[in-house]
Chain A
Amino acid sequence: MTVHSMQLHPSVNSTLKEDQIVHVHFKEEIGIAELIPLVTTYIILFAYIYFSTRKIDMVKSKWGLALAAVATVLSSLLMSVGLCTLFGLTPTLNGGEIFPYLVVVIGLENVLVLTKSVVSTPVDLEVKLRIAQGLSNESWSIMKNMATELVIILIGYFTLVPAIQEFCLFAVVGLVSDFFLQMFFFTTVLSIDIRRMELADLNRRLPAEAVQEIPDHLRLPRSKSVAKQQRYERQPTIRPSAPYTISLQTSSFRNLRLPKRLRVIYFLARTRLAQRIIMVGTVIWIGILVYTDPAGVRTFLTAQVTEQSPLGGSGLAPIAVPPGVFQRGDTESSLPGFPSDVTPPLENQSRGTDEGKNSNSFDALPLVEPENITDNDKQHAHSETSLPENDFKEEITWGAHDQEMWRKLSFRHWPTLFSYYNNTLARKYVSILPIIPVSFHLSLQDALDARHPQDAKRYHSMFSTNYQESKNIDGNGAREHASAKPQVPLDITLYKVGALGLASGVLLVILLFCLYKVFCPKTYGQGGLSHGRRRRGDLPCDDYGYTPPISETLPLILKGHLMDIECLASDGMLLVSCCLSGQIRVWDAQTGDCLTVIPNPGQCRDSSSCYDWQESWEYISDPENGADESFENEHNFQRRMTPSQPILFTDQPDLSGLIDTNFAEQIKEEDTVSRQRTVSEHSQETGYDFGRAYDKVYEDHKMLNVQNLRSYPSPPTLLRCSQTSVNLKSHGWDGGCNHRRRSLGDEPFSVFEKTSPIPMWGGDCESSVWSLGIQGNLIVAGRSSGRLEVWDAADGTLRCSNEESSSGITVLAFITNRIVAARLNGSLDFYCLDTNKTFNQLQYRGTPNRSTIPSSPVFNSEDIIVCQLIHMVPCAHQKPITVLKAAAGRVVTGSQDHTLKIFRLEDSCCLYTLQGHTGGITAVYIDQTMGLASGGQDGAICLWDVLTGSRVSHMHGHRGDVVSLICTSSCVISGGLDDMICIWDRSSGIKLYSIQQDMGCGASLGVISDNLLVTGGQGCVSLWDIGYGDLLQTVYLGKSNELQLVRQLLVLDNAAIVCDFGSELSLVYFPSVLEKLD
């Protein structure tokens, strides 16, 4: 046959060696010795997986998660193989061998890091928030890891070793798809797992605690409602104290506020457009697949081919051969391994292998040969009829690379190929016979006719120039050669796919970055936008250039106090204020009338001397005569005592201690210069940073303070019976920090500006009121002497007093008939107010929700009220208690010893000691829903779970102390010494935004009905929308007095706010913002 075909088609330019038979041997089974390294690598792989997944902790199903992690890696590898083969890369490496290395390279690290990070987020958050927080915590490290691995693999790619390149290619694609799967598969599994754990916890905990509260929720099946149930536990008690709804702006105005990109996102999320499109696409795709399944396609094609074959048309034959080969073409096309659009070289090889088979392999040869002969004859006929010009057009050169064409076929294909003929290659070998090149000429037209239509498209350009068809003697080669034939397709696809993988990786990063930039609100994360500090006189405006109108509401000015307001308390109806001089005034919170005045016990001075004091105060630098000096000095002492002592309950005592010391030393050698010095010194001291605790100085101060108290004994007669009672207020007035801050900051004003007020200080040095509480018609005042006084608010009489301890009462809380007083020495006293009659006789005036009458018990004026100490915790804290709040049957104290304690109100039992702050506690908030927040000198804010005593979240945002803290149902609002007000998301602990306040106004905060924030500024009060961070309104308290700072702010129940304004009080209603619910 060789000779025959050589005769027929004398070869031109053949450089092939004639007798070169290559045998490809196939072994029967893999040798055991060869298996050992393989097994070793697999064992190492399993050890790696084992050690990795062992680190998964604190999840519901460890094994499930480990399985998911492994599945992530495996499926990403599968995806990479699929993608690579899709792009035309034929895998030549032994998959079993490189598989462990691929797994190791891709790794489980990211998955584990992700799990750890998500698991370590606060437990009480929603699952999606936990996932989001965990992801954002680890975003940088995950991206860094991925980038590093990509770079390493890229370096490996440039080693230019084909095997390593292929490995790297798989690894790159696998890495990228692994990243996708981590984000979209593993996080899902993780969230499901966490959810399961929560459900399990809930089931365990519910019967224990929440049975009596929400029994009907227990009956709910544990479906979605369980998630809400948890939330619901905290919700219901928020509202009752807020009987007003907010009618902010119209809805169109609000929509205008929403950024456009967010609206697009919300729209997409609402309609689930993307999901639906994808779903429809998938359904259509599956439908197409079902309709035209591969087998169906093939039968269809075969039918077409057999239809056309008698006519000799070269329609759909898989290769460009004349019609005689069609029968063969059918057998070829029935091979699924070789679809009709495989590149021509592969087909050639497959045909070559058919012929190169050993004689014992199968009987295909006789089947093929006659066809080939006819084939050759026909082609010969074609060449005879071709034009003679074609002879010199192109000459075929056969080289060694042509001979090696079959090597481009992966040897793994060979057993597949032979298996179609029911032949196994085990223990056999394939001999590839040498190629016998034969060439003959073909007319251009015939060649074009003989082409496969798809080839025409693919190789359009090269057919335009030259085309020749040559065949080897076995007839099936049908190799097409042209000058522009693509070289070495494997390498090109390698590079192509590699570049594609890298580009897609880069694209992915860019895409994610763009998504983050576009769709995440600016305030996401810790950055937070801070509203710039307003200049005085400037109208505040927000980001959108919207300037809210200055409110027409005129503030009600409550005048009467002679000095700066020290303490402020209210219960909605009545307002109690205490100024630096110790005078207590009771106001009607509705009308602003002054109902009662309880003067300081020591104020019974004749007017002339008062005038003298005033004069001497005004001309403080002038030398005074000796007669006045002692008196004035006492004066000075008092004056200094009163402002400074209220400060004592925080770190401030050292200041007053210093001043008292000065005074005690100078009391005998008075000169005005030194007095002035103390004044200036004092004013300097007030500007000092309060952030540090001077505990030793504090102790000294306490000693000195006691000395001073002794040296100036209080005349008991000064407590006049005509003193009016003061009012009371609901539980807990504003935190001590407000007082401290205010009193300190205001002192310079009182010294240098307030020359007019008549000094009201008396000789009673015990009289400084450190804390106030009001409830019903009773006012409780805690004094620096440790004396607890209960006044009647209506007539100003002293109902009872308690002087069992000499340590000053720093904070107190007054709830129904209980009084909790925290003392300077860290002890905590629980008092009970009782009448001689039974408690049943106490009448309740109703709830504040329904009427404006406070719900507190009213003690009849004729009753004898006994204030008895029922329990005393001698050493509740090691250091002075700075804050105390009571709500929901719990009393929370915060101290300078960095701890908080939770007491039960009924039996004064200490439930928990909360540790977690690194500085003294300066602010505490507790509400009826048992939400507890605390802020410390370290600038940190901690949220606690009162039920379990565990820390829920920990936020850090202030430079310096946190001086005020308020929680709403969704937010935590904190004000700091840095004059910044930060709004945090309560559940996730993410800072939403921050507002820069005027200097010294960081503590003036208030929340009206859960979504309006009131802040004090320089001579004005601003109203903010908490949810959007928009400034709604600004009320200027007084045109003339803009220098005054609003340092203390109290929100009354009826949507009014009271703020101190120097020596005045301002009562501001917001009728334009609020309207009554009923």
Chain B
Amino acid sequence: MSRIEEACWSCSCTRVRPSESNGTLLVAKVHEMMTIVSSILGSAYCSLVSGHTMNLVRRGLVLFTVGVFLALVLNLLQIQRHVTLFPEEVIATIFSSAWWVPPCCGTAAAVVGLLYPCIDRHLGEPHKFKREWASVMRCVAVFVGINHASAKLDFANNMQLSLTLAALSLGLWWTFDRSRSGFGLGLTIAFVATLVTQLLVYNGVYQYTSPDFLYIRSWLPCIFFSGGVTVGNIGRQLAMGVSEITHKDCLDKMHKD
């Protein structure tokens, strides 16, 4: 406990008073979140009547938004780990310096979220476990919680950190997914994403804020794994809404025939 406090409180010597202009930003963010939630709802329940490609695009858009949003928020969390209070320039750096990170995450989320139901369909084992929006929300909350924990908590050593995170990720998968395809895809995503990140770091495109290389390496795959599972969950739920509605359409057409 004492270490956390130290980390949280003693590091704030270099505090810079946040500017008042952030209020408008907050409003904007809240607005963005609201639109995301409403777009999830809308896409799931009313706007999925159009054609197949249209559905695909819509789902992709929703997933992209979710990915961007999560990336921003989690990035914020990670930054928070090192500077408790944000100097003015932190927010600026988030949106300016590594501007390509959130879109990348969004694209990855869209791809993964579309990939999950696709693989389910190809494997022929539709995902039946806890298919409801409440469960998805729970999953997202746990995912954010894992990030939160990894950002805020102070672990004794990297081994403990990685073990805890791995256990948490596995728990997330077991609680919300429980499908082999989901596990395999999550592992693949974790591997590939970690590889890509390492390549970027080696090429100097991207830099870790923390010099501790081992720490990051043990930390990243777990986050990627749980993120993959989460996004896959969302994607499946979206796809299920689509398939339900299209199924209904098919029935209607058959009736008309």
Interchain nearest-CB distance for B70 vs A (Å) = 9
- Expressed in whole angstroms, the Cα–Cα distance for A47 and B85 within the complex equals 28
- Expressed in whole angstroms, the Cα–Cα distance for A159 and B163 within the complex equals 8
Contact A161 B153 (CB under 8 A): yes
Q: Contact string, A1003-1017, partner B, CB cutoff 8 A, digits 1/0?
A: 000000000000000
Interface status of A34 (Cβ within 8 A of chain B) = yes
Contact A34 B155 (CB under 8 A): no
- Expressed in whole angstroms, the Cα–Cα distance for A41 and B145 within the complex equals 8
Interchain nearest-CB distance for B223 vs A (Å) = 15
**A window 151-165: CB within 8 A of B:** 152, 155-156, 159-164
**B window 157-206: CB within 8 A of A:** 160, 163-164, 167-168, 171, 175
Interchain nearest-CB distance for A561 vs B (Å) = 61
Interchain nearest-CB distance for B24 vs A (Å) = 10
Q: Contact string, B84-103, partner A, CB cutoff 8 A, digits 1/0?
A: 11100011000000000000
Contact A104 B132 (CB under 8 A): no
- Find the A residue at minimum CB distance from B77: A37
Q: Contact string, B31-43, partner A, CB cutoff 8 A, digits 1/0?
A: 0010001000000
Contact A25 B167 (CB under 8 A): no
Which of A25, A31, A164 contacts B164, CB < 8 Å?
A164
- Expressed in whole angstroms, the Cα–Cα distance for A34 and B72 within the complex equals 12
**With A43-B33, A48-B134, A163-B4 given, is the CB distance from A23 to B13 under 8 Å?**
yes
- Expressed in whole angstroms, the Cα–Cα distance for A39 and B155 within the complex equals 25
Interface status of A92 (Cβ within 8 A of chain B) = yes
Binds A, one of B105-113, B136-144, B240-248: B136-144
Measured between beta carbons, the chain A residues less than 8 angstroms from B18 are 31-33
Measured between beta carbons, the chain A residues less than 8 angstroms from B137 are 44, 47-48, 51
Contact A25 B26 (CB under 8 A): no
Measured between beta carbons, the chain A residues less than 8 angstroms from B33 are 39-40, 43
Measured between beta carbons, the chain B residues less than 8 angstroms from A92 are 1, 4-5
Contact A31 B163 (CB under 8 A): no
**With A31-B85, A33-B86, A37-B76 given, is the CB distance from A163 to B132 under 8 Å?**
no
**A window 163-183: CB within 8 A of B:** 163-164
- Expressed in whole angstroms, the Cα–Cα distance for A101 and B140 within the complex equals 11
Find the residue from A36, A51, A159, A404 having the highest chain B CB count within 10 A. A36
Measured between beta carbons, the chain B residues less than 8 angstroms from A619 are none
Contact A34 B148 (CB under 8 A): no
Interface status of B47 (Cβ within 8 A of chain A) = no
- Find the A residue at minimum CB distance from B175: A152
Q: Indicate the size class of the contact surface on chain A.
A: 35 or more
- Expressed in whole angstroms, the Cα–Cα distance for A101 and B137 within the complex equals 12
A-side interface mostly: helix
Interchain nearest-CB distance for B220 vs A (Å) = 19
Interface status of A107 (Cβ within 8 A of chain B) = yes
- Find the B residue at minimum CB distance from A45: B141
**With A40-B73, A490-B1 given, is the CB distance from A104 to B164 under 8 Å?**
no
Contact A40 B134 (CB under 8 A): no
Interchain nearest-CB distance for A643 vs B (Å) = 52
**With A27-B85, A52-B134 given, is the CB distance from A104 to B5 under 8 Å?**
no
Interchain nearest-CB distance for B32 vs A (Å) = 10
Contact A32 B76 (CB under 8 A): no
Contact A25 B144 (CB under 8 A): no
Q: Contact string, B1-23, partner A, CB cutoff 8 A, digits 1/0?
A: 11011100110110101100011
Contact B25 A48 (CB under 8 A): no
Contact B29 A36 (CB under 8 A): yes
Interface status of A97 (Cβ within 8 A of chain B) = yes
**A window 408-426: CB within 8 A of B:** 408, 411
- Find the A residue at minimum CB distance from B144: A41
- Find the A residue at minimum CB distance from B90: A33
- Find the B residue at minimum CB distance from A102: B145
Contact A55 B132 (CB under 8 A): yes
Interface status of B251 (Cβ within 8 A of chain A) = no
Contact B167 A47 (CB under 8 A): no
- Expressed in whole angstroms, the Cα–Cα distance for A28 and B12 within the complex equals 12
Measured between beta carbons, the chain B residues less than 8 angstroms from A24 are 9-10
Contact A37 B155 (CB under 8 A): no
- Expressed in whole angstroms, the Cα–Cα distance for A28 and B85 within the complex equals 11
Measured between beta carbons, the chain B residues less than 8 angstroms from A43 are 33, 37
What total of chain B residues lie within 8 Å of the partner, measured CB to CB?
57
Interchain nearest-CB distance for B175 vs A (Å) = 8
Contact B85 A48 (CB under 8 A): no
- Expressed in whole angstroms, the Cα–Cα distance for A25 and B137 within the complex equals 37
Measured between beta carbons, the chain B residues less than 8 angstroms from A25 are 9-10, 12-13, 15
Interface status of B30 (Cβ within 8 A of chain A) = yes
Interchain nearest-CB distance for A67 vs B (Å) = 17
Find the residue from B72, B145, B168 having the highest chain A CB count within 10 A. B145
Contact A32 B153 (CB under 8 A): no
Interface status of A548 (Cβ within 8 A of chain B) = no
Interchain nearest-CB distance for B255 vs A (Å) = 22
Contact A34 B85 (CB under 8 A): yes
- Expressed in whole angstroms, the Cα–Cα distance for A871 and B145 within the complex equals 74
Interchain nearest-CB distance for A109 vs B (Å) = 8
Measured between beta carbons, the chain B residues less than 8 angstroms from A511 are none
Q: Contact string, A439-468, partner B, CB cutoff 8 A, digits 1/0?
A: 000000000000000000000000000000
Interface status of A22 (Cβ within 8 A of chain B) = yes
Interface status of B118 (Cβ within 8 A of chain A) = no
Which of B2, B30, B134, B141 contacts A55, CB < 8 Å?
B134
Measured between beta carbons, the chain B residues less than 8 angstroms from A55 are 132, 134
Measured between beta carbons, the chain B residues less than 8 angstroms from A155 are 167, 171
Contact B153 A407 (CB under 8 A): no
**With A37-B76, A161-B153 given, is the CB distance from A27 to B141 under 8 Å?**
no
Contact A161 B160 (CB under 8 A): yes
Contact A101 B12 (CB under 8 A): no
- Expressed in whole angstroms, the Cα–Cα distance for A162 and B85 within the complex equals 23
- Expressed in whole angstroms, the Cα–Cα distance for A407 and B2 within the complex equals 6
Interface status of A100 (Cβ within 8 A of chain B) = yes
Measured between beta carbons, the chain B residues less than 8 angstroms from A97 are 148, 152
Q: Contact string, A98-124, partner B, CB cutoff 8 A, digits 1/0?
A: 001100110111000000000000000
Measured between beta carbons, the chain B residues less than 8 angstroms from A161 are 153, 155-156, 160, 164
Measured between beta carbons, the chain B residues less than 8 angstroms from A515 are none
Measured between beta carbons, the chain A residues less than 8 angstroms from B115 are none
Measured between beta carbons, the chain B residues less than 8 angstroms from A40 are 33, 69, 73, 144
- Expressed in whole angstroms, the Cα–Cα distance for A411 and B167 within the complex equals 30
- Find the B residue at minimum CB distance from A101: B145
Interchain nearest-CB distance for B41 vs A (Å) = 9
Interface status of A1 (Cβ within 8 A of chain B) = no
Interchain nearest-CB distance for B204 vs A (Å) = 27
Interchain nearest-CB distance for B158 vs A (Å) = 13
Contact A44 B141 (CB under 8 A): yes
- Find the A residue at minimum CB distance from B72: A36
Which of B76, B85, B134 contacts A36, CB < 8 Å?
B76
- Expressed in whole angstroms, the Cα–Cα distance for A404 and B6 within the complex equals 11
Measured between beta carbons, the chain B residues less than 8 angstroms from A159 are 160, 163-164, 167
Measured between beta carbons, the chain B residues less than 8 angstroms from A258 are none
Measured between beta carbons, the chain A residues less than 8 angstroms from B77 are 37
Interface status of A274 (Cβ within 8 A of chain B) = no
7 closest Cβ contacts across the A-B interface?
A48-B137, A407-B2, A51-B134, A32-B22, A51-B133, A33-B86, A52-B134
- Inter-chain pairs besides A31-B86, A44-B141, A156-B167, 12 sampled, C-beta below 8 Å: A24-B10, A27-B15, A43-B37, A92-B5, A97-B152, A101-B142, A101-B145, A161-B155, A161-B156, A161-B164, A408-B1, A411-B5
User: 5 A-B Cβ contacts within 8 A?
Assistant: A35-B26, A48-B134, A97-B148, A104-B138, A407-B1
Residue numbers of B with Cβ under 8 A of A are 1-2, 4-6, 9-10, 12-13, 15, 17-18, 22-23, 25-26, 29-30, 33, 37, 69, 72-74, 76-77, 80, 84-86, 90-91, 132-134, 136-138, 140-142, 144-145, 148-149, 152-156, 160, 163-164, 167-168, 171, 175
Residue numbers of A with Cβ under 8 A of B are 22-25, 27-28, 31-37, 39-41, 43-45, 47-48, 51-52, 55, 92, 97, 100-101, 104-105, 107-109, 152, 155-156, 159-164, 404, 407-408, 411, 490
